[in-house]
Amino acid sequence: MKLICTQENLKKAIYNCERAVAKRNTLPILNNILFETKKGGLKLSATNLEIGVSSQIGAKIEEEGRITVPARLISGLSNNLLNGENIALESDGDILKIENKTNKTSIKGISAGDFPLIPSRKGAHLLELEVADFKKATTNVLMAVAINEARQELTGVNISLKTDELLFAATDSFRLAEYKIKLKEDSINKELYLPFIEKHENIIIPASTLMEFNRMVTDEDNFKVKIAIEEGQIFFEMNNIELVSRLIEGKYPQYEYIMPKEYKTRIVGERKIFQQALKTAGLFSLGGSNEITLKIDAETKNVFVHASSAETGENSAELKFDITGPSQEIVFNVKYLLDGINIISTDQVAIFANSEATPVAIREIDEKSGEVLGNFIYIAMPIKN
């Protein structure tokens, strides 16, 4: 392998691949990034056997070839490269030589023959989505994913595949977040997608895969991502990056049954004020369950957030919120309410409740119309006394 590329492109490709590299893996080759000439350019790949990432960049190829080098070294090296200069890469046996104007490096690598095969897409894509929409949807539900859960399926984000929308959901059984993306006509490859969703109502993507995906996308990116699903694998393609991940097998809980169809009580108020009241109450709700009480008083038109413990003392906030419906008094783990409030991106927030024993819903409010926004819902279970 012998080639020349820009330092800027090389840095980006390494950045995209480096986190897919296995951490503390006993198989040394999984700590490495694969460099190979492909399609007249340079392709970098990394995998931890759960996900695989490839990044293709332009390069002037003088000699075809393949080699793998430790991600730690090549990434450290690339962090010190300046934009606007070229860099030459040349393999010599298992050594990769890297040279720019001032710097000559030889990195000990491992033969590319030992690098595991990363699955590649065979058929066409099912979907093509705005990458910003996909990132927003996953960001809004990831905080509700179960960590280290015995039930594998709860460690991923569920996507219910409908003809006209995708429903992203995550739950650890204490709370649930759901975000909806409307599918546009041109987002669907109809010939494939419609037969596919007849057989597959949903898929479950590992949370770690989606966090890795989101890391590679900045909030300003406005390109599209193509999605294919084949043989228990999901393929993402965007902007010269390919990410492939296993899907989680298993049956996702039918969470729609625990979501109340309607609510008796609704409060609306400033998100920031509610957030501060919860944070402060959280300080006084010591103990494993972080209990705080939300009291909605329909008579006095006040919302109270209250917490107390024998060790710390007590705290109580009185909030002037709009209240419709009957009074309520519900006990929560403050952490689960806060996770929901923290992800709300509108200035006003709405809380819906029915009773002390049923879930509440947290929703966004459109600034202009004052209406509840339909695409996001966060559900928190109360603590039953």
Residues that bind a copy of itself (CB under 8 A): 70, 72-73, 76-77, 79-80, 82, 95, 102-108, 273, 276-277, 279-280, 283-284, 311-319
Q: Are 45 and 17 in contact (CB under 8 A)?
A: yes
Q: Please, what is the minimum distance in Å from the beta carbon of residue 316 to a copy of itself?
A: 5
Q: Please, what is the minimum distance in Å from the beta carbon of residue 163 to a copy of itself?
A: 46
212 versus 291: smaller Cβ distance to a copy of itself:
291
Mapped onto helix, strand or coil, the DSSP state of residue 346 is coil
Q: Please, what is the minimum distance in Å from the beta carbon of residue 305 to a copy of itself?
A: 9
Structure tokens at 182: 């409307």
Tell me the CB-side half-sphere exposure of residue 5, using CA atoms within 13 A.
29
Angle value at C-alpha 145, between 144 and 148, nearest 5 degrees: 135
Q: Are 178 and 203 in contact (CB under 8 A)?
A: no
Helix (H) / strand (E) element for 285: namely none
Strand partners, 3: 61, 89
Q: Which residue has the tokens 């739950």?
A: 171
Q: If you ran DSSP here, which 8-state letter would residue 381 be given?
A: P
102 versus 254: smaller Cβ distance to a copy of itself:
102
Q: Please, what is the minimum distance in Å from the beta carbon of residue 278 to a copy of itself?
A: 9
Q: Cα–Cα distance between 377 and 140 in angstroms, integer?
A: 9
Burial-class residue 91 by CB neighbours within 10 Å (0-12, 13-18, 19+). Answer: buried
Q: Cα–Cα distance between 238 and 133 in angstroms, integer?
A: 14
Structure tokens at 330: 């519900």
Q: Please, what is the minimum distance in Å from the beta carbon of residue 106 to a copy of itself?
A: 4
Q: At what angle do helices 7-18 and 71-79 cross, to 10 degrees?
A: 140
100 versus 214: smaller Cβ distance to a copy of itself:
100
79 versus 218: smaller Cβ distance to a copy of itself:
79
Q: Please, what is the minimum distance in Å from the beta carbon of residue 162 to a copy of itself?
A: 41
60 versus 108: smaller Cβ distance to a copy of itself:
108
202 versus 316: smaller Cβ distance to a copy of itself:
316
Q: Cα–Cα distance between 171 and 190 in angstroms, integer?
A: 30
226 versus 279: smaller Cβ distance to a copy of itself:
279
Q: Please, what is the minimum distance in Å from the beta carbon of residue 282 to a copy of itself?
A: 8
Q: Please, what is the minimum distance in Å from the beta carbon of residue 376 to a copy of itself?
A: 25
Which residues does 321 contact at the CB level (< 8 Å), separation at least 6? 267, 268, 269, 274, 302, 303
278 versus 330: smaller Cβ distance to a copy of itself:
278
